Amino acid sequence: MVKEKIGRKKMIQQNSKIYKYKSSNNNSMLPGDPSGSPDESFFSGDKNNETLFFIDEGFLSKLSKYFGKGKYLKFDKIGFAKELANKERLACKKIFYYLAPPFQSEPPTKEEESLKEGHDKFVRKLREKGVVVREGRCQRLKIDGKFEYRQKAVDVLLAMDLTNVPVKYPNVKRIVLIASDSDFVPVIKNLEEQGVKTILYTYYQKKRNTNFSRSNDLIKSVYKYVLLSKQDFDDAPLNKIKEENAKQKKK
């Protein structure tokens, strides 16, 4: 009888749905998917698990300005992605970055030319470091007497690259998407049908009349979502090597 009870106990433990360690300090992380599969935080870390990062610069820039209280935070874009990959126990294989160049009048003003030069320099540095940069275009609209600038074709380029993941990267089974647009839902569902799970890093506020509204359709479509925080930006400083050296000197 004692042996039978022990055997049953082991069987129950084996069949239990394991989500993540109770000691995990990531309160924004969902505890796994509805099917009961364990999430990435449970594993000790298999660096052979490669992932792709898809970053909507428009959303990330907007969030950076919000956390910076009106000023854009300065952070290492590549380091930012790699730090998030480490949290997911994944290896960052490649980063895809989506943005639009600054608007240019005909002819462009000196300020517009200066902004374009800065943009081109930024894009060039990303590409030199192996980041795949996709550029849409910037549209200027005059609404109620004020100019508004909107990115065009950026979401289309991102959706196209997401669709190509199973073909171009057949070994990648989990991708990370940094965005907030529900337009990606059909693509995410299609990827899941082909065995590719999407981990969404996003941000939203529950209160009304906010710049960061919650997209229930997007959240429900992904394997897991995590809310970004200012700490995620702080964990990827531009001068990380200098910062670490400074800490060593203080010791």
Q: How far apart are CA 113 and CA 32, in angstroms?
A: 48
Helices 185-193 and 154-163 pack at an angle, to 10 degrees, of 10
Q: How far apart are CA 124 and CA 122, in angstroms?
A: 5
140 forms bridges with which residues in the sheet? 149
Return the number of other C-beta atoms located less than 10 Å from residue 151's C-beta: 18
Q: Please report the pLDDT score of residue 106 as a whole number.
A: 82
Q: Which residue has the higher pLDDT, 28 or 154?
A: 154
Q: Residue 190: which pLDDT band, with cuts at 50, 70 and 90?
A: very high
Asked whether residue 133 carries a pLDDT value surpassing 60, the answer given is yes
User: What is the percentage of the chain residues whose pLDDT exceeds 70?
Assistant: 72
Q: Which residue has the higher pLDDT, 99 or 6?
A: 99
State pLDDT tens for residues 34-55. 444 555 444 434 445 899 999 9
Query: Do the beta carbons of residue 218 and residue 185 sit within 8 Å?
Result: yes
Q: For the residues 132-153, what does the mean pLDDT come to?
A: 76
Q: 45-250 in CATH: which number?
A: 3.40.50.1010
Q: Residue 160: which pLDDT band, with cuts at 50, 70 and 90?
A: very high
Q: Please report the pLDDT score of residue 72 as a whole number.
A: 93
Asked whether residue 159 carries a pLDDT value surpassing 80, the answer given is yes
Asked whether residue 96 carries a pLDDT value surpassing 70, the answer given is yes
Q: Which residue has the higher pLDDT, 191 or 21?
A: 191
Q: Which residue has the higher pLDDT, 3 or 222?
A: 222
Alpha helix segments (H runs only) across 16-109 = 57-67, 77-87
Secondary structure of residue 138 in the 3-state scheme: strand
Which of 169, 214, 162, 164 is CA-nearest to residue 188?
Answer: 162
Q: Residue 147: which pLDDT band, with cuts at 50, 70 and 90?
A: low
Q: Residue 15: which pLDDT band, with cuts at 50, 70 and 90?
A: very low
Q: CB-based contacts of 34: which residues, under 8 Å, 6+ apart? A: none
Q: Please report the pLDDT score of residue 24 as a whole number.
A: 43
Backbone angles phi, psi at 139, to 5 degrees: -105, 135
Cα end-to-end distance, the chain, whole Å: 60
Q: Please report the pLDDT score of residue 141 as a whole number.
A: 66
Average pLDDT of the chain to the nearest whole number: 80
